[in-house]
Amino acid sequence: MYRWKAYITVFLVAWIVLLTRFGYTRTVAEHWPIAVVMVLGSLVAGSTPMGGGTVAFPILALGFGQPVASARNFALIVQALGMTSALLFMIGRGTKLPVWLLMGSTAGAAIGFVVGIFCIEPFLDGNLVKLLFSCIWMSFGLLTLTKNREICGLHGKGPGDSPRAAPIGLAAGLIGGSIAGIIGVGVEMAIYTAMVLVYRADLKIAIPTAVAAAALASLEGAALHVFYLRDIELGTFYDWLAAGPIVIFGAPAGAFLVTIVPRIRVLYAVSALCLLQFVCTLNRTAHRAADWWFVLFALLAAGTIQTALYSAGKRAGSMSATAASFAPQ
């Protein structure tokens, strides 16, 4: 666990120096609401295939009235901090991760961020961005709700360390990165969907893989906004400082929690969160006929993709089972 402990130590020392030497203590204390929000957000990030931004984005954009760009940026930088902590914690505990799949997703996410930020986001207004976030996670919640028992009963080993997994990771990272470039989250959902629908992987493998993919992608997205776009606002930075000590411990706590709490309960809780945010978002933002058509199209598109992946995974599983039955004993 020395890597994780060193990471925690470096952050806490830097955090204390920033607060004391630069006089940020009072200002950061005024941002305590986001620290409270990220108690739940960080636990969700470590224990489920949903990033902490899944909690932060709707609360900042809908509850706190922040611009969607600020909510997106906060989601990326807080996940870069917290989910990296969870990743190092999992590595320290000996969690086996599919390296080739993660290499592919990281490369795909790098391209996806460019696509999402520069090619898609300029054509979406704030309302549509909120609705896009809501619909993506609602479709994920519906998948989880309808297939929960089946997903929790999966015992596949996933792609392992096979190089053949890299193209799947690349495609998932590209799709998830394009979404994350707009709303700050998405890579974890894309990787998790590939793991359980295509590879029929056990959740003990699928969830840590989704957390790891989100950590690596969030580092890329955060670096893009901090060093190239330079659009992290001062208020977002203060929010990050306020939530930092929470998420570096909360996300690893969530990663540990998922090993002792029944997975079926965790996923039902995920479905409930997805449904709650969907209802709240529609109530606050869907006021035009165009908004409702957008919601319908987004849900149908997400559902169609998930159904296709589910069918492909079932067929592959059936073929593998048939091959195994004819194998010499």
Whether residue 144 lies inside any domain: the answer is yes
Alpha-carbon gap, residue 210 to 97, rounded angstroms: 10
Give Cα separations from 260 to 47, 57, 87, 313, 315 (angstroms): 10, 28, 18, 28, 32
Is residue 325, in this structure, part of any structural domain at all? no
For residue 17, tell me if it sits in a domain.
yes
CA–CA dist 195, 165 (Å, integer): 10
What digits encode the pLDDT tens for the residues 77-111? 999 999 999 999 999 999 889 999 999 999 999 99
pLDDT value of position 318: 55
pLDDT (0 to 100) of residue 40: 87
pLDDT of residue 322: 42
Q: What is the pLDDT of residue 327?
A: 46
Q: Quick one: how far is CA 56 from the chain centroid?
A: 11
Task: Evaluate whether 7 touches 84 at the Cβ level (below 8 Å).
Answer: yes
How buried is 18 (Cβ within 10 angstroms: 0-12 exposed, 13-18 middle, 19+ buried)? middle
| Number of CB atoms found within 10 A of residue 163's CB | 12
pLDDT of residue 171: 94
Distance of CA 107 to the CA centre of its chain: 16
Whether 327 maps to a domain, the answer reads no
The answer to whether residue 166 is domain-embedded is yes
Q: Which amino acid is at 212?
A: A
| Cβ count near 256 (within 10 Å) | 16
pLDDT at residue number 246: 95
Tell me, yes or no, if the pTM score tops 0.85: yes
Is 73 in contact with 231 (CB distance < 8 Å)? yes
**Strand partners of residue 156:** 201
Instruction: Please identify every stretch of the chain with a pLDDT value under 50, giving residue numbers as ranges.
Output: 319, 321-328
Q: Which domain holds residue 275?
A: 2-315
Q: Tell me, what's the pLDDT at 317?
A: 61
State residue 151's pLDDT score.
86
Number of domains into which the chain is organized? 1
Rounded distance, CA 91 to CA 154, Å? 23
Q: Position of tokens 């919601």?
A: 295
- 62 assigned to some structural domain: yes
